[in-house]
Amino acid sequence: MAPPPDDFRDDGGVDEFVVPRIPASAGALINDGEGRILVLKPTYKSGWTIPGGQVESDGESPWGACQREVLEETGLTVTSGRLVCVDFLRPKPHRPGGVRFVFDCGSVHALPHGDIVLEAEEIGEHRWVEPDEASRLLSGPVGRRVGQVLGTAGLVYLEDGRPVRGAPG
């Protein structure tokens, strides 16, 4: 097969090209080996959350962000995790939206450095809670995300923390 003529190889010059940017974050589900999960109380916002945070714009991967944030916030080193949730949040006024990843990082007993050391500037306290208590403590989409993945063996796709018809989950 002959290569296409030159006029089919290029769409022409582009004066301005803007790559869409979608904020992303990654969180970790960590359990205590007895069915309770780790939740954190941030100092900079109301409500409770799971360990995790923003993916850095320098090319950090969601898994890398999960590992870094867990270490920064709790002192725990996660070495393995299974992706259990991808959640798309639509932008709203005062919230950019984005994509949220959740990894099941297993039991704290299996993690190196099993003692939790909170990052005092960002995390005020932590608790080990049963799944039903987690659903009451965790705020909005985080609580819905965790509720959708607990007890699920596969990957769940959500939008605004809710299942989407026709998508896995």
The pLDDT score that the predictor gives to residue 15 is 65
The pLDDT score that the predictor gives to residue 140 is 86
Structure-token match 């989409």, residue found: 141
Q: How confident is the model at residue 25 (pLDDT cuts 50, 70, 90)?
A: very high
Tell me the pLDDT tens digit for each residue of 119-129: 999 999 999 99
Q: What are phi and psi of 143, to 5 degrees?
A: -65, -40
**Which residues are CB-neighbours of 1 under 8 A, at least 6 positions away?**
none
Tell me the pLDDT tens digit for each residue of 26-37: 999 999 988 899
Q: For residues 62 and 140, which has the higher predicted lDDT (pLDDT)?
A: 62
Buried b / exposed e over 4-18, threshold 16 CB at 10 Å, is: eeeeeeeeeeeeeee
**Domains of the chain with bracketed CATH:** 22-162 (3.90.79.10)
Q: Please tell me whether residue 147 adopts helix, strand or coil conformation.
A: helix
Q: Which candidate, 107, 115, 129, 120, places its Cα nearest to that of 48?
A: 129
Q: Could you count the other beta carbons within 10 Å of the beta carbon of residue 57?
A: 9
Copy the structure tokens of residue 90. Answer: 């639509």
CA distance 169 to 148: 8
Copy the structure tokens of residue 160. Answer: 């605004």
The pLDDT score that the predictor gives to residue 27 is 97
The pLDDT score that the predictor gives to residue 12 is 59
Query: For the whole model, what pTM was predicted?
Result: 0.85
The amino acid present at 94, given as its one-letter code, is: H
